[in-house]
Structures are given as structure tokens and as C-alpha cells.
Amino acid sequence: MDIKTIILAAGQGTRMRSSKPKVLHKVADRALLHHVYDTSAQLENNSIVIIYGHGGELVKEQLNTLNADWVEQKEQLGTGHAVQQAEGFINDSDKVLILYGDVPLLKKSTIERLLENVSQKSIGLLTVELDDPKGYGRIVRDNDGNVLKIVEEKDTTEDERLITEGNTGIIATPGNLLKEWLSRLENSNAQNEFYLTDIIEMAVNDGVRVKTNLAESMDEVLGVNDRSQLAHLERVYQLEQAQQLMASGATLRDPSRIDIRGDFESVGQDIEIDINVLFEGTNTIGNNVIIGANCILKNAVIGDDAVILPNCIIEDATVGVRSRIGPFARLRPQAELAAEVHIGNFVEIKKSTVATGSKINHLSYIGDATIGSKVNIGAGTITCNYDGVNKSQTIIGDGAFIGSSTQLIAPVTVGKGATIGAGSTITKDTEKEQLTLSRAKQITIKDWQRPVKPK
Ligand code: UD1
Ligand code: CA
């Protein structure tokens, strides 16, 4: 049987007080709807239909890379009405799974358990035990515990309101039965809506059993209705990811002070991450890597045994094995560092390669440069790579020694083993293994008087 997932995402989300549709708000830099899609897309033999709302074109536009069919629900006449919009996509033989676009943390394993309940004789319903069931549809059971129906809060009797088992809204049913039930939905209820939940009582009347699973946690099935819930789920999600990292062999100084807004290509063993580290995009971390406090890594590749000291920002850059970066270093896109490179404080590197064992330890800007191995770049060295229009290259040969506060006016090449005297402005290529410097001669003005303030 194929699976057809229908994701309901047409709701307005007024309590977000936002100009954009609710499902576009993000957890870990990813739209709520995208999370739901990702989880569902992991199921095999599955195709996805997304129901979006009137005015929700933005949703479709921003998530147009998702492999799904998009169906507009022009008026929000209820969850049953929303599912009716997808009718044309439902095959009789499908297992239909109904998900909510604003419930981002639902687990794949939970969905799989639910789908196991689907046959011509039974459907699956995900429920949750609630301390405070306010706002939820209540699961009404008979004395033997069989589900009879779901009653929406606004339609409950006083007794029903005391029921603490709530409907998550997540349902799995055979396609043929669902289509039949959808055609019988009516809106004669307190909200004049077509309730999807009414299919439960229809199933029972048709002799189809309603098998329930309990959600693992409240948070797993929590829908986002306001920004406080959004922030709550962000923390829940981050903690889950921190747990995964630790399970894979990482030491986190504080699992509640790490943020992963993206994923890892791979993570080595015995890495150590200090507090307030932010990972974005897709990062690759080798074995025994140490990352100090307050670092931001985005699409970084960090080699084995590298140490990133506190307060570094590394974006679209590669750090070689046994390298040492920071504190306060900034590696910008296409900074490619080989093994055992040392980058110190207030050093910025952009679109440059640095070969094995080279050191740039203090206060430098290196852009559009190719730096050989075992090069030592003194404090305050700047590659002047930009003339206002063109970017030019600086090439520094193996073993060169660049004195402090040197300006290298690109395009320029420093020969292998060359030494550049401190404070030089280098405009022409320099010879290998020679000392080159450009420096005004030092003079002393004798008997010069400092100005004196009048009393
Ligand atoms: C629904 C359930 C309720 C359950 C609760 C869990 C029904 C009738 N009620 O109630 O039993 O306890 O969810 O949160 O199903 N949506 C549409 N189109 C619509 C209406 C809703 O796409 O016309 C989408 C919303 O965007 C949302 C989901 O369906 O993702 C649920 O809608 P919502 O209005 O939050 O349902 P509730 O009334 O809270
Ligand atoms: Ca809701």
C-alpha cells in the first residue's frame, strides 16, 4: 500500500500576530511546514499533498522546492473541509496520513506506529494525555475503552469536558473509507465547521475499529499557535539535537547552550563543545575537535584534532587537521587552511589558501591570497587586494617571513624563503631568500620642542 500524506497548512495563525502565514515561521531556521514535510518525506512509498490557505501563496513560493502537490483551500471551513480538497489525490488503496503543518516535532517512529493500525477493519488515531485538555477535541471511549467518537471542546457536555485524553489531530486511514466518510461530513456543530474528527464516529458506526497510540510527549504533538510556543519548541528541538550529538560521542559543556540550525555531514568522536556555540548550514567536524565558547560555524569543515578557541566565526571555510584557530578569528568563504595552521586573534581570511604549518597570529587581513607552507605572517599584515574595482592576488612562497605591519599591494608575489622587513609597503615581486624592505630612513630632529599648553 502506498502512503498519501496530507499536510494541513491552511490555518491563519492570527495569534502569531504576523504578516506571514504561520507555517512559515521557523524552528532552527527551517519553516514549521518544512519540518513536517521532512519527517513525512522519510517514509517509503509516500507522496505528499499540502493544503495551503487563501493568501498562502507565499507558503508555496517559499517552499517550492518541496516534492509535493499543492492544493489551495480557498475558505477555511474546517479540518474536514481541508482534507476534502485533496480528494482527487487519494487512491482507494492508499494509506492516508493526516498531519498538521504547524506541528513540527512529530517523530517518524510515531507515524510508523500509527500507520501499522491501518487496515480495512481499523484506523489509527494519535492521542495525548493532557494535564489541561482545554482547546482539544476529547476522546470519548466506552466502558471497555473502545473509542466511540471525538467531541470538539465547544461541543462537549460537562462530563466530556473532564476527559483528559485529547485528539492530536493526527490520523491514518485507508483511502477508500476516508473518501466515503468525507462525503458524509456535515457542519451542524457549534462552529459550523466540517470537522475531520467526525469520521471517528462514522468509522465506529461502520464497524471499523479506532486504534489509538499515545504520543511520546506533549511536545511531540504540540502545535504552534503563538510565538511563545514557537520559542518553547525551538528549545525542545535544540535539546533533542544536543542529545543526539552526545549520543554520537560529543562532550557538550552545557546541552542547553548549543544551537544547531542545520545538520552535520559528519561528526567525529570525542569532540568537545563549550557553551554558546551556534552551528548553521551543514557542518563537518572531525575527531577530537575542540570548539571554544561563543563560536559560530556555518558550512565549515573542521579536520581532526583541530582546536577552535573562543569567539571565532567560520563560514564556508575549511580548517585542516591539528590547526589552531582564534580566539576572535574570522574565516570567511573559501578560506582553505591545510594542516597545522595557526590563525590568531583579529585575523580575517577570505578566499585564500594557507598551506601546512603557516602562522598568521595577530591582527591581519588575508584576502585573495595563496600562502605557502611554513610561512610566518607578522602582526598587522594586510593584503591590499582591492583597488576599488578589481580584486588581485597575493602569492607568498613557502617559508617566507613577513615582518609586522606589512602591506602587500596585490598583485604581488613574495618569493620562497624571502624575508620582508617590518613596516614595508610591498608593491613589486620580491626575490626568494632575500631580505626586502621598503621603509623611509629613520631620522632624529635635534632640539625639537614639544608644544606646551599656555598656563
Ligand atoms: C483540531 C481538532 C481537535 C484537536 C486539535 C489539536 C478538528 C475539528 N479539531 O482543533 O480535535 O484536538 O486540532 O490541535 O479537527 N486547518 C486547515 N484548514 C481549515 C482548518 C484547519 O488547513 O479549514 C489546519 C490548521 O492550519 C492546523 C490544523 O488544520 O494546522 C488544525 O486546525 P486548528 O484550527 O488548529 O484546529 P483546532 O480547532 O485546534
Ligand atoms: Ca490548534
Q: Which residues contact 187 (CB under 8 A, 6 or more apart)?
A: 77, 78, 193, 194, 195
Please name every residue paired with 409 in a beta bridge, in sequence order, or none if there are none.
Answer: 384
Q: Which ligand has the nearest atom to the CA of 136?
A: 1
83 three-state secondary structure:
helix
Q: Is the peptide bond before 411 cis (omega within 30 degrees of 0)?
A: yes
Nearest CA to ligand 1 atom 21: 79
Ligand 1 atom having least distance to the Cα of 102 = 30
Residues contacting ligand 1 via CB (< 6 Å): 8-11, 51, 73, 76-79, 81-82, 100-102, 136-137, 150, 152, 166-169, 195-197, 223
pLDDT tens, position by position, for the chain (455 residues)?
799 999 999 988 889 999 999 999 999 999 999 999 999 999 999 999 999 997 789 999 999 999 999 999 999 999 999 999 999 999 999 999 999 999 999 999 999 999 999 999 999 999 999 999 999 999 999 999 999 999 999 999 999 999 999 999 999 999 999 999 999 999 999 999 999 999 999 999 999 999 999 999 999 999 999 999 999 999 999 999 999 999 999 999 999 999 999 999 999 999 999 999 999 999 999 999 999 999 999 999 999 999 999 999 999 999 999 999 999 999 999 999 999 999 999 999 999 999 999 999 999 999 999 999 999 999 999 999 999 999 999 999 999 999 999 999 999 999 999 999 999 999 999 999 999 999 999 999 999 999 999 98
- Measured between alpha carbons, how far is 44 from 241 in angstroms, rounded to an integer? 24
Task: Write the DSSP assignment of 368-417 as a string of letters.
Answer: SEEE-TT-EE-TT-EEE-BSSS-B--EEE-TT-EEPTT-EEESSEEEPTT
pLDDT on residue 184: 98
Measure 127 CA to ligand 1 centroid, in angstroms. Answer: 14
pLDDT on residue 12: 80
Measure 356 CA to ligand 2 centroid, in angstroms. Answer: 57
Please identify which of the residues 54, 81, 232, 362 carries the catalytic annotation. Answer: 362
Measure 355 CA to ligand 1 centroid, in angstroms. Answer: 58
Q: 352-455: same fold as 248-350?
A: yes
Q: The sheet that has 359-362: what strands, in order across it?
A: 250-252, 271-273, 290-291, 307-308, 324-325, 342-345, 359-362, 376-377, 401-402, 419-420, 435-436
Q: Which ligand has the nearest atom to the CA of 78?
A: 1
Helix, strand, coil content of the chain in percent (nearest 5): 20, 35, 45
pLDDT on residue 1: 74
Q: Which ligand has the nearest atom to the CA of 82?
A: 1
CA torsion angle 149 154 158 160 (round to 10): 20
Nearest CA to ligand 1 atom 12: 136
Q: Give per-residue burial for 217-248: e unless 16+ CB within 10 Å, then b.
A: eebbbbbbbeeebbeebbebbbebbbeebeee
Ligand 1 atom having least distance to the Cα of 152 = 11
Q: Which residues contact 349 (CB under 8 A, 6 or more apart)?
A: 317, 329, 330, 331, 332, 335, 337, 343, 360, 366, 367
Measure 162 CA to ligand 2 centroid, in angstroms. Answer: 19
CATH architecture for segment(s) 248-350: 3 Solenoid (2.160)
362 classed as catalytic: yes
Q: How far is CA 333 from CA 302, 315, 348, 368, in A?
A: 14, 6, 11, 11
Nearest CA to ligand 1 atom 25: 11
Ligand 1 atom having least distance to the Cα of 198 = 8
Measure 180 CA to ligand 2 centroid, in angstroms. Answer: 25
Say whether pTM exceeds 0.75: yes
Nearest CA to ligand 1 atom 11: 137
pLDDT on residue 178: 98
Domain residue limits, the chain? 3-221, 248-350, 352-455
Ligand 1: residue of 12, 79, 156, 182 to mutate (most ligand atoms within 8 A of CB) is: 79
pLDDT on residue 13: 86
Q: How far is CA 335 from CA 173, 268, 318, 338, in A?
A: 53, 22, 6, 10
Q: Which ligand has the nearest atom to the CA of 229?
A: 2
Q: Which CATH superfamily is domain 3-221 in?
A: Spore Coat Polysaccharide Biosynthesis Protein SpsA; Chain A (3.90.550.10)
Measure 191 CA to ligand 1 centroid, in angstroms. Answer: 12
Q: How far is CA 254 from CA 110, 238, 276, 452, in A?
A: 28, 12, 9, 58
Give the CATH number of domain 352-455; options: 3.90.260.10, 1.10.3720.10, 2.160.10.10, 3.40.50.620: 2.160.10.10
Please name every residue paired with 436 in a beta bridge, in sequence order, or none if there are none.
Answer: 420
